[in-house]
Amino acid sequence: MNGWMGRRLRVDLTESKAKVEKLSPEYLRKWVGGRGINSEVVYHETWQGMDPLDPRAPLCFGAGPCVGTFAPLSGRTTITARSPMTCSYLGNEIHGHGDSNMGGSFSSAMKYAGYDQLVIKGRAEKPVYIWIDDDKVEFRDASHLWGLKIKEATKMILEELGDPDIRVTMIGPAGENLVKFASVANAFSSSGGRTGMGCVMGAKNLKAIAIRGSNPVTLADPEAFAKQAWDLREKVHNSPAAQRRRLEGSMDLFDAGNSIGINAYKNCSVGYMEGIEEIYGGVQWAEKFLFRRKACWGCPVSCGRYTYIKEGKWAGVSCGGPEMESVCNLGPRIGTEDVAGVNVLCCVANDLGIDTVSGGAAISWAMECFEKGDLSEKDTGGIPFEWGDIETSIKVLEMMAYREGFGDILAEGAIRAAEKLGVGAHFVGHCRGLDHISVDPRIALGFSLGYAMSTRGSDHLKNYSCLEFPGCAMSRKEQISEVFDPEMEKEFWKDFPNEMSEMKTKPQLCTWSEKNKCVADIVGCCCQAIGSWGGAGGWNDAYAPLFRLATGVDMPDEELFKAAERVVAIERAEWNREGSARQDDTHTDRFFDEPVVGGPHDGKKLDRSEWAKAQSEYYRLHNWDDAGFITPEKAKDLGLEEIIPDMEAGEKIYREWMEKRKK
């Protein structure tokens, strides 16, 4: 094949066996790659009510057809499994789709070893790591690595195998101890943080995967592909957005976010942090802490960071990262202005293998509970939680990772901690159990709807919700012309800037952009090339031509877009078969009942009636029913007839639950 390797590697940890499975051209045309083939496997090889940590449940690492080529930003790896972190209003043990997407270079090495996907099942008797060298697969003892943090364990594996160019992905102590929001990392600090994929890996007694390959990725039209890729690289490289991101990293978003007043502060109890761009702004951060830049595979932007703290209390600390969401959720979210200390927090979390968003959410939740009198030192084993306390936060991250004392409770995630302790559920900002990122959902309503409709729980990276405001280093005019045609421009942007806090166009924005984003995920490229962040234009300008030139598959734009819609649907179906639909496509009461405090949007809150209308419109645009279930007609249209019985069973669960609530 061209573009694809045409093979998946299936690993059985229980039996210490591996086998290669060939992937047909028809299968790859239907699911494309990366997120697509992962989501297909996870849906069809799990079932309603299955425990995410069941040894029979698959854990998938997927690469797209553009991975391992000269395509710009083609270094993404999708990791997919049922999520131990997410849940439903039906109950905290109702789980659904989970995935995470990491940069670095692991997926390229996977392609060179000859595989589009790794599918891992079973549970090893003792800790192991998998060593893949082209067709050779070994199961190696990892007992000496168990308990080690990510940087140290990665170095030890590279030394054992004797080649610094081997790519290693692994978990830290958090994954080993089944922290619900444990992450997976490669290249020391490129993390797949969300939905607890590290927890799934730890449940399989799998510390790491090391991989090396020598197979070329062949291209259908190498000359035309090279020209298209080079032109796109130059376009991205020279765009104002990429130039700013190269300088500031993703910290450039603090400036844009604060200018329109959307950054959450103190666990969303306050909607605005005064002067955040001066404290956390990208230029200021780079001047103080940037050691050097870091690029993922094939990236002309180099938005990654290496941090070195030169002076002060934390002088001498160095590590990979951080990025904006890590800083925001371990910085403003816990109410601190100590940027150096926040860098240290991010370093600690990454090395322990903790998702910085959910880790920061758990700590900030405890801090607000302390402030409101719902928790005391008696409840926390003598730990005082006060806004801005870096030292205590570092200690608590360690306690979470090793499940010690009060950290054991927080390691379950904020929503489960609130349930266990019987306090503070109102203070947990989440959708389907996954904590919100840094944008307050009462203000930016595209983000708000995107959080709730994401197939993996609260999330901003399953769609382009940021298109609703003048974002990320491009002027409004440039941003519109790069992404929208004139008719879409009229629809989305009239009456701006009030449009950001008006729901009217958000269902259309959300449904269109989630499929747009999925195209990047299935071909294996970074979303930062598209739209407001990278200057490469829309998906059809950037990735569709490269996909066709790489694979030789004459798939029209519309068919590629429909493949993305199919992937979104199969992920939605994983929730639907559990009975999760309209009741979970929403926010907690706090965001409807409590207005924003401070800043330019003081007093704003979500409107329940407006929200219900947006839900219905979103479902209508997808051709789902008004409860949010995929209809038989839509399933057939997408070639997913096999999910129809599951949808009927899930809707029965939903209707029974609704009847009980009425009583």
Residues 6+ apart with CB under 8 A from 459: 194, 431, 434, 437, 450, 451
Do 619 and 637 fall within a single domain?
A: yes
Question: Is residue 246 assigned to a domain?
Answer: no
Average pLDDT, whole number, for the chain?
90
Helix axes 539-551, 506-523, angle to 10 degrees: 30
Domain that holds residue 494: 445-662
Mean pLDDT lowest for which of 69-73, 463-467, 626-630? 463-467
Do 530 and 638 fall within a single domain?
A: yes
Do 314 and 419 fall within a single domain?
A: yes
Question: Is residue 87 assigned to a domain?
Answer: yes
Task: Average the pLDDT over 238-245 and give the result.
Answer: 79
Do 475 and 387 fall within a single domain?
A: no
Strands 318-320 and 304-308, bridge-based pairing: antiparallel
Element (H, E) at 7: strand 7-12
The DSSP code sequence of 462-519 is: TS-GGGGSS-TTS-HHHHHHHH--HHHHHHHHTTTTGGGG--TTHHHHHHHHHHHHHH
Domain end, chosen from 435, 453, 476, is at 435
Span 558-597, pLDDT tens digits: 999 999 999 999 999 999 999 999 999 999 999 999 999 8
Question: Of the candidates 49, 52, 81, 68, which has an alpha carbon nearest to the alpha carbon of residue 4?
Answer: 68
- Domain total of the chain: 3
Do 86 and 163 fall within a single domain?
A: yes
HEC letters along 221-255: CHHHHHHHHHHHHHHHHHCHHHHHHHHHHHHHHHH
Do 491 and 399 fall within a single domain?
A: no
Do 581 and 488 fall within a single domain?
A: yes
Domain end, chosen from 384, 406, 435, is at 435
Q: Which two tokens stand for residue 259?
A: 């200018």
Question: Is residue 632 assigned to a domain?
Answer: yes
Question: Is residue 130 assigned to a domain?
Answer: yes
Identify the CATH number of the domain in which residue 573 sits.
1.10.599.10
Do 55 and 102 fall within a single domain?
A: yes
Residue ranges of the alpha helices (H) in 144-221? 150-161, 173-176, 197-203
Question: Of the candidates 149, 166, 37, 30, which has an alpha carbon nearest to the alpha carbon of residue 110?
Answer: 166
Task: Average the pLDDT over 415-420 and give the result.
Answer: 96
**Which residue type occupies 289?**
F
Confidence of residue 254 (pLDDT cuts 50, 70, 90): confident
Does residue 476 have a pLDDT over 60?
Answer: no
Question: Of the candidates 82, 116, 183, 140, which has an alpha carbon nearest to the alpha carbon of residue 411?
Answer: 183
CA–CA dist 61, 10 (Å, integer): 11
Identify the CATH number of the domain in which residue 122 sits.
3.60.9.10
Does residue 233 have a pLDDT over 50?
Answer: yes
Do 284 and 190 fall within a single domain?
A: no
Secondary structure (3-state) at 431: strand
Confidence of residue 365 (pLDDT cuts 50, 70, 90): very high
Do 481 and 558 fall within a single domain?
A: yes
Q: What is the pLDDT of residue 505?
A: 80
Cβ pair 111, 103 in contact under 8 A: no
CA–CA dist 161, 169 (Å, integer): 14
Q: What is the pLDDT of residue 480?
A: 41
Cβ pair 184, 201 in contact under 8 A: yes
Span 99-145, pLDDT tens digits: 999 999 999 999 999 999 999 999 999 999 999 999 999 999 999 99
Confidence of residue 429 (pLDDT cuts 50, 70, 90): very high
Question: Is residue 597 assigned to a domain?
Answer: yes
Span 183-214, pLDDT tens digits: 999 999 899 999 999 999 999 999 999 999 99
Question: Of the candidates 64, 178, 646, which has an alpha carbon nearest to the alpha carbon of residue 412?
Answer: 178
The DSSP code sequence of 102-147 is: E-SSHHHHHHHTT-SEEEEES--SS-EEEEEETTEEEEEE-TTTTT
Does residue 179 have a pLDDT over 60?
Answer: yes
Q: What is the distance between the terminal CA atoms of the chain, rounded to a whole angstrom? A: 58
Question: Is residue 611 assigned to a domain?
Answer: yes
Domain end, chosen from 393, 411, 435, is at 435
Identify the CATH number of the domain in which residue 321 sits.
1.10.569.10
Q: Which residues of 204-216 are buried (b: 16+ CB within 10 A; e: fewer)?
A: bbbbbbbbbbeee
Mean pLDDT lowest for which of 208-222, 507-521, 582-596? 507-521
Question: Is residue 221 assigned to a domain?
Answer: no
Do 37 and 127 fall within a single domain?
A: yes
CA–CA dist 372, 221 (Å, integer): 63
Q: Which residues of 268-292 are buried (b: 16+ CB within 10 A; e: fewer)?
A: bbbbbbeebbebbbbebbbebbbee
Mean pLDDT lowest for which of 20-29, 76-85, 234-243, 600-609? 234-243
Q: What is the pLDDT of residue 509?
A: 83
Q: Which residue has the tokens 């901003």?
A: 460
CA–CA dist 466, 438 (Å, integer): 13
The DSSP code sequence of 331-346 is: TGGGT---HHHHHHHH
Question: Of the candidates 177, 158, 178, which has an alpha carbon nearest to the alpha carbon of residue 167?
Answer: 158
pLDDT top residue among 469 and 524? 524
Question: Is residue 254 assigned to a domain?
Answer: no
Do 51 and 150 fall within a single domain?
A: yes
CA–CA dist 519, 539 (Å, integer): 7
